[in-house]
Amino acid sequence: MSNSGLSRLEVGRQSMQAEAAAIQLAAERLDASFERALDLILDSGSKLVICGIGKSGHIGTKLAATFSSCGIPSVFLHAAEAIHGDLGVYQPGDPTIVLSKSGSTAEVLRLMPMFKKLKSPVIAIVGNMDSPIAAAADVVLDGSVEREADPLNLMPTSSSTVSLAIGDALAAALVKARDFTKEEFATFHPGGQLGRNLLMTVADVMHAADQVACAQAEETLREVVIRMTKFPFGAACIVDAANGLAGIITDGDIRRILSQEGDILNFKVGDCMTKSPISTQPNVALGDAVRMMEDRSSQISVLPVVAEGGKLLGLLRLHDAYQPSFS
C-alpha cells in the first residue's frame, strides 16, 4: 500500500480497506481445520483458555470476553505471566487458543510443551503456517496477511484484525452449533442497554393511557395542545369511542400545522392526525420496539401501545427505552 502523495484521509481509507480485504481473504481460507477447532472446544465441556502477548494479548482479552458472553466460560492467559504461576488456571483438558502473528513468539512457544502436560488441545491462530507454534499445535488456523495496513507495514493492524475476526467467527459458529438463544444470551448481559433490550418488555417502561394526552377526532387542535402540555411526552393518541387507537399527533405534527393559514387551533384533530399509526404491544421485547422506531427511513420517537384488539394501553417513548433503571 503506497501512501506517496496521499492525504491523511486517503491513508485512513486505504488502511480500513486493506484490513477489510485481509479479512475477506482469511474467510475464503477457512477449511476443515475450522471445523476441527470447533469440535475441540465443544467436546471439551470445560472452559476455554486464550493465550497471547503484546497486541495478540489484547485481542485475546477481547475474545475471552466474547466467548464468555455466549456461554463458553473463557479466561485470558498472559503468556509471560503463565510461567510464573498463572498456569494454575488450568484444569486437565481445558482447550487453549494461542495467538501469534509470527508463529514463533518466544513466550508462547515456551508454553507449548506445558499445554501438552496439561492435556490441553491447542488451537493456534498464526500468521505463519510453517512456524514452530503451528507445528506444535493440534489445529492451526491461517491468520496470515500480505502486509499490515499502516504506511510503514510495521504495526499489527491487518494481522491483529484478522486474528480477531477468526476468533469472532469461532464464537459465532459455536452459537449456532449450541443452539444458543437470545434468552440465554440475556442471562449473561443483565446490565446496560443490551440487558434492557433483552430482558425488559414494552410494558416495563411505557406510560399508561391515563398518563398520556388523548383525544377524539372531533375535538380541536387547541384542546389537544392543552393536554399535550399537561402530559409532555411528545405526542397525543387519538382514540375512538371504544378507546381504540385511531391516530396520533406528535410535537412535530403540531409545528408543521402551525405553518399553515387559517384558524389553526380550531382545526379538527381528525383532519390533522396520522391515521392508523405504527404501534406495538406490551409483551414485545424492548429491543424489538426500539428497532421498530429506529430502523426506518424516518425515525420516530414515540410508539402507541395497544392490546390485541387495538385498545390503547399507553405510549412508549424512545427516551424511556434508553433511560437507565435504578430499581
Cα–Cα dist 229/259, whole Å: 19
**What pLDDT is recorded for position 192?**
64
Q: Which domain holds residue 28?
A: 8-180
Q: Give pLDDT tens digits for 9-23.
A: 999 999 999 999 999
Tell whether 189 is covered by a domain: no
How many structural domains is the chain composed of?
Answer: 2
pLDDT band at 327 (very low <50, low <70, confident <90, very high): very low
Helix locations, 231-285, DSSP H: 251-257, 269-272
Report the candidate in 167, 163, 137, 134 with the shortest Cα–Cα distance to residue 148. 163
pLDDT band at 326 (very low <50, low <70, confident <90, very high): very low
Residue 164 and residue 307 in one domain:
no
Average pLDDT over residues 249-271: 87
- Per-residue pLDDT at 324 exceeds 70: no
Tell whether 109 is covered by a domain: yes
pLDDT band at 185 (very low <50, low <70, confident <90, very high): confident
Report whether 286 contacts 204 (CB < 8 A): yes
**What pLDDT is recorded for position 46?**
92
Cα–Cα dist 233/228, whole Å: 7
Q: What is the chain's mean pLDDT, rounded?
A: 92
Tell whether 194 is covered by a domain: no
Cα–Cα dist 12/150, whole Å: 9
CATH number for the domain that contains residue 118: 3.40.50.10490
Q: Which residues pair with 207 in a beta bridge?
A: 315
**DSSP assignment letter at 263:** -
pLDDT band at 3 (very low <50, low <70, confident <90, very high): low
CB proximity list for 253: less than 8 A, separation 6 or greater: 272, 273, 274
Residue 69 and residue 39 in one domain:
yes
Q: Give pLDDT tens digits for 40-78.
A: 999 998 999 999 999 999 999 999 999 998 889 999 999
Grid cell listed for 18:
486493506
**DSSP assignment letter at 104:** -
